[in-house]
A and B are shown apart, each in its own frame.
Chain A
Amino acid sequence: MRGSLYLAWRYVTHHWIKTTILVASITLIIFLPLGVRVLIRESAQHLTARAEATPLLVGTRGSPLELVLNSLYFGTDAPEPLFYSDLESIDSTKLALTIPLYTRFRAQASPIVGTSLDYFAFRDLDVVDGDMFAILGECVVGARAAERLGVAPGDAVISSPESVFDLAGVYPLKMQVTGVLEFSDSPDDDAIFVDLKTAWVIAGYGHGHQDLADATAATGVLRRDSTTITANAAVVQYNEITPDNIDSFHFHGDIGSFPVTSVIAVPPDQRSATILRGRFEEGAGFSQIVVPSDVMDELLGTVLTVQTFVLAAAIIMGLGTLATAGLVFGLSIRARQRELMTMMKIGASPGGIRWLIISEMVVVTTAGIAFALALTALTATFGPPLIRSALL
């Protein structure tokens, strides 16, 4: 048996091109269906776990999927925003804890999420390095985002302008990093979190500038009367919030009209959830309430249908490849008749010859299975993040 295995090993390594093709074929036969199943299962687990941990989500009417993907996974396609007053009206019902999310902005590739401190308790996120943000202009950074941006507490991140050609648009804000969140293997790892008001400052609803009452701002004053000071463009606006200028930051207009992308609603019990959902479904307003897990199940249902087709195609292709591999083995054995006959003459039994051929098949098949399993393991590790990034 050892002799047969040795000879089989020498044969397959000597004929390495044929062996490589056969191993690749077997790897594909096994990996395609297995990899697809593992990829979809792992991706589904990742996606549904976060959705299932979020009881209700309120946003503007439109695509529930877009709302869920943006609010839970911080996708780039942001739905139309709600008013902050919508959150206040849910608050007033006392049916759920409300957590605002404002996800319009990004710092390089990392989403900037304006929210409240309740978000961190809700997602069970702790700061492992530094402290939670406390004042306007501070932020905490997810573990992967911190690594990617190369920032630590004490450093700063700058929000990215939405369009470099829009002079009237949003200007970058330099934010102080106060802490880095623990790794949670979730989209939170890629995000930068700020207080909702800081996000509104980035959006331009709040700002800070030179004190116009101060003598140093004289060149920036256009007109001054007893109640109003009108400034011109020479007034210095701050693009960083510091202890020195924080008092100059203020908001114009009614906070109730300020935007939030969505609101996570956390009802204390099923009854409150049902009542809250009922109110939204009865209402004819421009907001909607969705159960994220239902939305993700619908998405995964579509994905599973696609998976069925992919698996069917993979199985048909696998059978074809298997037949080809069998043919290659068969032809190879026919081509080796003389060699096998010599082996019989110098001592091999018919069973020994069969065992030799089986050993070659075992070596090739084992290598194919090993490669397929290794590829499947790699797919299980690296596939779901790719799927998430493709979906988002």
Chain B
Amino acid sequence: MIRIRDLEFQYQKSDFVLRMTNLEVADHERVAIVGPSGSGKTTLLNLIAGITTPHRGSVETAGQHVSDMPDRIRRQFRVQHIGLVFQEFELLEYLSVLDNVLLPYHLSRALRLDDSVRARARDLANGVEIGDKLHRNVARLSQGERQRVALCRALVPEPSLILADEPTGNLDPTNKQRVVDLLLENTKAVGATLVAVTHDREVASRFDRILDMREFG
């Protein structure tokens, strides 16, 4: 469950103010956020993830008030409960597919890397059809394959919430459909809630609910 109340956020040296009086996303719900550029879609995802904190109001994610948490606790909470997928994949070019999938485990002490995690990473990679490329450097993968690696990276800690920022923005139509399929299937398979930002109405139409940022303007 995501619950946002009386939210107000403004970047420094910016006239734009994101205001949101009330937003709720139920557990296991799959919500697409649409809206014009600059309407605050990515900012909203960052607030839900606890990457940024609001100036006013509260953000409750998975039953926790992330906006009130100290930085360290919020970071640990994010690692353990939220999977992030980015428009430009944000993979580390110097790592293999497997190392990129396991990256959260290399970076955070809140996650413990063991054989079961490695097995889960392999299963996820097999599920998105990159299982035969686990030891290949990600720089040698296609765009579609890279986004699948990023999807596995978000799923491997078994989060209860997946936040995807324009996950198909850099993909061709074939890969776009494939990645959306995998995103929806895998989120459902792990029982997670999914909130995705997209410009693509066709993609958005496949979600349970579409949330238009203009409604909050």
Contacts and interface: CB of A to CB of B under 8 A. Distances in A.
B63 to A, nearest CB: 20
B99 interface: yes
Contact of B106 (A3, A14, A338, A349): A3
B75 A347 contact: yes
B93 interface: yes
B103 A346 contact: yes
B214 interface: no
A348 interface: yes
A294 interface: no
Interface string B116-138: 00000000000000000000010
Given A10-B99, A11-B94, A347 B79 contact: yes
A3 B92 contact: no
Nearest to B83: A346
The interface centre, meaning the residue of A13, A338, A345 with most chain B CB atoms within 10 A of its CB, is: A345
Contacts of B26: none
Nearest to B76: A347
B104 A346 contact: yes
Contacts of B108: 347-349, 352
Interface in A336-379: 338-339, 342-343, 345-349, 352
B107 A10 contact: no
23 contacts: A3-B106, A6-B106, A7-B106, A7-B107, A11-B94, A14-B94, A342-B86, A343-B107, A345-B49, A345-B51, A345-B78, A345-B84, A345-B90, A346-B104, A347-B78, A347-B79, A347-B107, A347-B108, A347-B110, A347-B111, A348-B107, A349-B75, A352-B108
A384 to B, nearest CB: 43
Interface in A1-36: 3-4, 6-7, 10-11, 13-15
A346 B106 contact: no
A3 B72 CA distance: 18
Interface in A244-302: none
Contacts of B94: 10-11, 13-15
Given A10-B99, A14-B95, A349-B108, 6 more contacts: A7-B92, A10-B94, A13-B94, A345-B90, A349-B75, A352-B107
Contact of A14 (B51, B93, B110): B93
The interface centre, meaning the residue of B84, B99, B106 with most chain A CB atoms within 10 A of its CB, is: B106
Interface residues of A, number: 19
B90 A342 contact: yes
Closest 5 CB pairs of A and B: A14-B94, A347-B108, A3-B106, A347-B79, A348-B107
Contacts of A342: 86, 90
A3 B99 contact: no
B9 interface: no
A328 B93 CA distance: 19
A347 B51 CA distance: 10
Contacts of A10: 94-95, 99
A329 to B, nearest CB: 16
A9 to B, nearest CB: 10
A348 B51 CA distance: 12
B153 A346 contact: yes
Interface string A121-156: 000000000000000000000000000000000000
A342 B85 CA distance: 10
Contacts of B79: 346-347
Nearest to A5: B106
Contacts of B99: 10
A347 B90 contact: no
Contacts of B75: 347, 349
Nearest to A13: B94
Nearest to B105: A3
Interface in A37-95: none
A352 B71 CA distance: 14
The interface centre, meaning the residue of A339, A347, A348 with most chain B CB atoms within 10 A of its CB, is: A347
B158 to A, nearest CB: 14
Contacts of A349: 72, 75, 108
A15 B90 CA distance: 18
Contacts of B84: 345-346
Nearest to B50: A345
